[in-house]
């Protein structure tokens, strides 16, 4: 698929981050877009930005509220999108929606967050492919783009942070997409697929994940969230009783801001890399120099990948700063 003009694309998680930038760049190329998200307000901003950029004649963008962890939501999204765009054919499917959270498999207080994170990041991709497959098969050419992560080949954020839900989901997305290569080649050769593995990208995922999970977009922490945060701080070897509630909230807001604003690769740059990879029919798309370096290091010494010495070498070579993907712990003294 050498260009996207006149094509029809579906994007999950189109309200912010890479999903928003994919929508903007696709619309600019004359591709119609149907996006879903759990935030109607965020999708409205994506549409406003697309309109401000300029929507070419014949292109159209629509917004649909849907939770990708719910198959019935995606079925409704599909049917609405097909009706509003008056088509039974889909050329591009971007299973992009994702959240972080639920780090530990061991701690029972994290089970609900663990399963929510896994369901969005894995089942959102699986349900997306299942739901839209008939429309992809009906197109003359089509491409599935599944967003995994560098945590799909390196299951860690550092030696002191449990990250099992997100990493397990992203490993599943990567393996699923690789399996699709043969599946599609054998049964639907006109449909291609790619797995996207971003490094640290400047998005709002760090700040939005908790809000998506609870369905409330306030920065204010609930008592349960504060209690969970204190337990995690204690596990990191710090004394949570010395940190006021307001300081914990401020730390989380600042950490999310740093993750977005101090990233080495912007969401817009990431979207360009992804779309260039689709045009080149690459099934494996690493996004960011940090992702490329991490991929090389894990492949060179896989048995050392979860040692502290490996993490130290990696952060030095990648050049992560505080607030980036490899942040090991909050800093109460700077709250």
Domains in the chain (CATH in brackets) are: 8-209+264-306 (3.40.50.720)
Residue 43 pairs with which residues in a beta bridge?
none
Which helix (H) or strand (E) segment is 147 a member of? Answer: strand 142-147
Cβ atoms of residues 83 and 132 within 8 Å:
no
Taking residue 5's Cβ as centre, other Cβ atoms within 10 Å add up to: 11
Starting at the edge strand found earlier in the chain, the sheet holding 92-95 runs 61-65, 32-37, 8-12, 92-95, 142-147, 191-198, 284-287
3-state secondary structure at position 190: coil
Tens of each residue's pLDDT in the chain, 335 residues: 899 999 999 999 999 999 999 999 999 999 999 999 999 999 999 999 999 999 999 999 999 999 999 999 999 999 999 999 999 999 999 999 999 888 889 988 788 989 999 999 999 999 999 999 999 999 999 999 999 999 999 999 888 788 899 999 999 999 999 999 999 999 999 999 999 999 989 776 655 655 566 566 566 777 777 777 787 777 667 887 888 877 877 777 766 666 666 777 999 999 999 999 999 999 999 999 999 999 999 999 999 999 999 999 999 999 864 333 333 333 323 22
What is the spatial distance between Cα 204 and Cα 219, in angstroms, rounded to a whole number? 13
Q: Name the CA dihedral angle for 163, 164, 169, 175, rounded to a multiple of 10 degrees.
A: 110
């Amino acid at each position: 698929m050498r260009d996207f003009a006149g094509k029809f694309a579906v994007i999950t998680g189109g309200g912010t981050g890479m999903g928003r930038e994919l929508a903007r760049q696709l619309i600019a190329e004359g591709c119609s877009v149907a996006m879903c998200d759990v935030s109607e307000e965020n999708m409205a901003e994506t549409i406003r930005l697309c309109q401000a950029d300029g929507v070419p004649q014949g292109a159209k963008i629509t917004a649909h509220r849907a939770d990708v962890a719910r198959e019935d939501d995606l079925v409704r999204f599909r049917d609405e999108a097909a009706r509003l765009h008056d088509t039974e054919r889909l050329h591009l499917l971007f299973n992009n929606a994702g959240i972080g959270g639920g780090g530990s498999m061991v701690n029972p207080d994290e089970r609900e967050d663990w399963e929510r994170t896994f369901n969005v990041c894995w089942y959102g991709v699986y349900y997306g492919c299942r739901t839209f497959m008939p429309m992809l098969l009906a197109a003359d050419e089509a491409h599935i783009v599944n967003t995994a992560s560098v945590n799909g080949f390196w299951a860690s954020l550092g030696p002191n942070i449990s990250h099992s839900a997100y990493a397990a989901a992203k490993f599943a997305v990567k393996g699923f997409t690789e399996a699709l290569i043969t599946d599609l080649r054998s049964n639907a050769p006109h449909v291609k697929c790619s797995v996207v593995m971003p490094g640290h990208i400047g998005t709002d995922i760090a700040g939005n994940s908790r809000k998506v999970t609870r369905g409330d977009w306030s920065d204010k922490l609930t008592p349960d969230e504060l209690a969970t945060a204190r337990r995690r701080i204690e596990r990191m070897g710090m004394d949570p009783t010395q940190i006021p509630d307001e300081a914990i909230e401020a730390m989380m807001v600042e950490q999310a801001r740093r993750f977005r604003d101090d990233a080495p690769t912007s969401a817009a740059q990431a979207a360009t890399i992804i779309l260039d990879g689709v045009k080149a029919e690459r099934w494996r798309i690493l996004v960011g120099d940090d992702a490329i370096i991490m991929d090389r290091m894990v492949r060179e010494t896989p048995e050392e990948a979860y040692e502290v010495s490996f993490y130290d070498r990696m952060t030095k070579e990648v050049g992560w700063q505080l607030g980036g993907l490899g942040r090991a712990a909050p800093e109460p003294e700077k709250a």
